[in-house]
Structure 1
Amino acid sequence: MSEHAALIAPAAAEFTAVLRGIGEIDLAARTPCAEYDVRALLNHLLYWGPWLEAAGRKAAPPAVSSGEAESDLVGADWLAAIEGRTARLVELFGAPAAWEGETTFGGTPLPASMVGYMVLDEFVFHGWDLASAIGAKFTVRPDVAEAVYAIALEIGDQARSMKVYGEEVAVPEDATTFERALGASGRDPGWKR
């Protein structure tokens, strides 16, 4: 759990590099997340980022007037907004204390480590989703790949029941650790745009 704190910054760096490669023309591109194109996935990140940050601070969730589907948060400054949120999440979850004890997410009490898992997953899995959608390279350090694979195995059933992960995707026997993590999270490592 708290040992994952050191993985947040490198995962966020790769995630941010992908974000910087997204152009206006890419916003309508489909992603491996069937319900999201690039714009909708960016909207998802912008919508849930404040919730993750509040949970990391062990503070009350943000007040919202509409749900994710009704929100349109991808304005002209979307990149700066996500980069700023990412930097704050790195600061919070890069510290072992954020992974300890209890917090709430959307009013639901849960272990703080679970929110840390969500942050790492957002950076790695959604970073891959976005990179795949725009045809960009996505590099995952071996220790980060091992961590997200272990997380996907640990929380997979719960995440699937909450519709956070899709049904597990079978991968070849010679699949890399990261490809196994993708499959465990319901993603097809061989997905093509």
Structure 2
Amino acid sequence: MELPIYRSAIRQFGQRVGLVRDHQWGLSTPDPRWTVDGLVDHVTAGQLAVAAALGTAPPDGQTVDRPARWSAASAAALTAFGTVEDWSATVDGPDGPVPAGEVLWRAATELAIHTWDLARAIGAPDELPNDLLAHVLDQAREHGDRWFTADRYAPAIPVPGCTEDLIELLARAGRNRWWRRG
């Protein structure tokens, strides 16, 4: 399984969390449901859910420091994935039972998308490593009909003939690559 790709996605999101300034937590993001604060909380909760689905207890204590909460949650998820012996074993995913490997790929895909969301919201670099994009896009193509549902993402944006992985991945999630806060 591609645990290095997941680690890369964790690093990318964590780097952007580290760039958020105090005055930016209330800014809007490309997903109109969230401010920067809400997005980071959403992704942090997702990492805790991954850890729980794989049988790892959440970190002890609740800190109000968002970057520290993110670090603890992502460390718990990484630890949980590190204990998986059979990637085809069924675990409880967000939409019901799925193979553990699919949980990894879905988490990596969501991290990549939300890294871009966070970067655009705070004006940070929004490019992602090519290997991360190529791998998660392959998985998004395979599982997108289940992952990119209307209750989770905006409708997909058609990009016929697209040759840029980031644009295609974002379009699948209903994101406009050139989004700017209004």
- Please classify the TM superposition score into its range, dividing by the shorter chain length: 0.7 to 0.9
* Structure 2: runs of 5 or more not aligned: none
1:15 is matched with 13
Q: Does 2:173 align with 1:185? A: yes
Inter-CA distance 97–141: structure 2 relative to 1 (3 Å threshold): farther
Using the alignment, how far apart are the partners of 2:150 and 2:90 within structure 1? 20
1:164-189 CA distance string (max 9 Å, x none): 23211133745411211111122111
* Structure 1: runs of 5 or more not aligned: 63-72
Using the alignment, how far apart are the partners of 2:86 and 2:38 within structure 1? 28
2:45 is matched with 47
Q: Which segment is superposed worse, 148-157 or 92-101?
A: 92-101
% identical equivalent positions: 25
Aligned residue runs from structure 1 range 32-111, under 5 A: 32-57=30-55, 76-93=64-81, 97=85, 99-105=87-93, 108-111=96-99
Inter-CA distance 159–166: structure 2 relative to 1 (3 Å threshold): farther
1:132-167 CA distance string (max 9 Å, x none): 100100332211111111122222222233622321
User: Structure 1 counterpart of 2:36, which letter?
Assistant: V
Following TM superposition, where does structure 1 have runs of at least 4 consecutive aligned residues deviating by more than 6 angstroms?
none
CA contact 1:93–1:99 (8 Å) conserved in 2: no
1:94-147 CA distance string (max 9 Å, x none): 566363311113693222122112220232111111011001003322111111
Q: CA RMSD in A?
A: 2.5
TM-score (norm 1): 0.80
How many residues are treated as equivalent by the alignment?
A: 178
